[in-house]
A and B are shown apart, each in its own frame.
Chain A
Amino acid sequence: MAHGEEQAVNWLQLAGVQFTLPGLSQSETYVVAFTWVAMAAAIAIAIAVAVGMRTVPRGLQNVMEVIIEFLEGYIVDIIGRKGLAYFPLIITVFGFILVSNYLGLVPGCIAPTGNINTTAAWAILVFVFYQYLGFSKHGLGYLKHFLGPVPVLAPFMFVVEIISEFARPLSLSVRLFANILAGEIIIGKFLMPIALAIIPLFWAPVFWMTWESIITAPIQAFIFSLMTMIYIGGAVAAGEHE
C-alpha cells in the first residue's frame, strides 16, 4: 500500500522490533516477516498431515483430502485430465493464500495477502507461467489466439486482447488484496474502535464482519486458484476449438 503506516498494530511492533530489510520500509518488513510465518505454517501443516498419514483418514487429514479432491475435480473439469500436471502449483497457491488469509484473523498478526506486493508476486508468477505454457505448447501459433475469429478485425482485436491479457494479473492481484484489506480495515479501523469506545451493543457488527472474513478467506483462495486454472486451461487449449 502507498500509505503503509495505516497498518494495524502487530506483535513485532509491540515487541519493539526496529529491524528493516534493505530497501523496504518498516511496515513492509513486517509483511515479509509474516509472509515467512505463513509459509512456515503452511509447510508445517502439510508435513504434519503427510507424516501421520493413514488409510482411514481422521482429523486434519480429512480436511486436506477434501480440499485436494475438490481442487482436483475442478482441474479435471476446466483443463482436463492432463491438467493434473499443474496440480502442485495450484495447491501451493491455494494453501499459501488460505493460510495467510487466516493469519490476518489471528489478533496481532498481519495477513501477507492484505498487501499488494504479495498478491502481485503471485499474479505475476501465474501470468509468466501460463504464457510460458502457451508458447511452449503451441510455439508462435499461440499468438494466433490473440487475433480473434474475424480476419478483418484482427489488428484491432490484437490490441484489445493484449490489453485484456495484461489486465489479468492486475485484476487477479487487486481482487485478493482488496478483499483481505477491506476486511482488515473495516474490522480494525472502523468497527473495533467504536465497539471498544462506546457500548457492548456495537460488538455485533464486529462479530458479523469477522464471520464475513472467515468465510471470505477460503473463497478468495479458491477464486485465485480457479482463475489460475482458467488461465492455464486457456493457454494450453488455445486454438483447439477452431
Chain B
Amino acid sequence: MNNSSNCFVPLNPPKEEEMGTLDPKMLVSALAALGAGLAIGLGAIGSGIGIGVVSGKYLESVARQPELQSKLTTYLIIGIVFCETVTLYAFVVAMLLYTKIAG
C-alpha cells in the first residue's frame, strides 16, 4: 500500500518510543480546553431552544390579543432571563475550566 497517496497518514509518523511521552500537564490542558468548549456549546443549546419557544409563544399571544402586549413583554423578558441563566451556569463552568489551561 502506498502511504504517500493517503492523506490520513501523517508524513512523519511519531516513532514508537516518542508515543509514550505525553506530558500529563498538557493532557489536562487539552481536556480542559475541550471541556470548556463543550460546556458552553452544549449549555447554549438548551437556552437557545428555550428562548425560541418563549418568544414564539409571545408572538402568538400578542397576535391574538394585542391589548395585552405591554403586560406580556414583562413576562417575555423575565422568561428569556431565566432561560439565559442555564447558559450562564455553563459559562461559569467553562470559565473554571478555562483557568485550568496551562500557558
Chain A interface residues (CB < 8 Å from chain B) = 2-3, 74, 77-78, 167, 170-171, 174-175, 178, 222-223, 226-227, 230
Contact = CB atoms under 8 A, between A and B. Distances in A.
Nearest to B87: A178
27 contacts: A2-B95, A2-B98, A2-B99, A3-B98, A3-B99, A77-B74, A78-B74, A167-B89, A170-B88, A170-B92, A171-B85, A171-B88, A171-B89, A174-B88, A174-B91, A174-B92, A175-B81, A175-B88, A178-B88, A178-B91, A223-B77, A223-B81, A226-B74, A226-B77, A226-B81, A227-B81, A230-B78
Contacts of A77: 74
Contacts of B84: 175
A78 B92 CA distance: 29
Say which size band chain B's interface belongs to. 10 to 19
Given A171-B85, A175-B85, 15 more contacts: A2-B99, A3-B98, A3-B99, A77-B74, A167-B89, A170-B88, A170-B92, A171-B88, A171-B89, A174-B88, A175-B84, A178-B88, A222-B77, A226-B81, A227-B81
Chain B's interface: helix, strand, loop or mixed, by majority?
Answer: helix
Contacts of A227: 81
Closest 10 CB pairs of A and B: A171-B85, A2-B99, A174-B88, A171-B88, A178-B91, A175-B88, A223-B81, A174-B92, A175-B84, A174-B91
Contacts of A3: 98-99
Contacts of B85: 171, 175
Contacts of B78: 226, 230
Nearest to A74: B74
Contacts of B89: 167, 171
Interface of B: 74, 77-78, 81, 84-85, 88-89, 91-92, 95, 98-99
A165 to B, nearest CB: 14
B81 to A, nearest CB: 6
A227 B95 CA distance: 24
A230 B98 CA distance: 32
Nearest to B95: A2
Contacts of A175: 81, 84-85, 88
Nearest to B91: A178
Nearest to A227: B81
B52 to A, nearest CB: 18
A31 B45 CA distance: 32
A161 B99 CA distance: 29
Contacts of B92: 170, 174
A170 B92 CA distance: 9
A95 B74 CA distance: 20
B24 to A, nearest CB: 22
A226 B98 CA distance: 31
Contacts of B99: 2-3
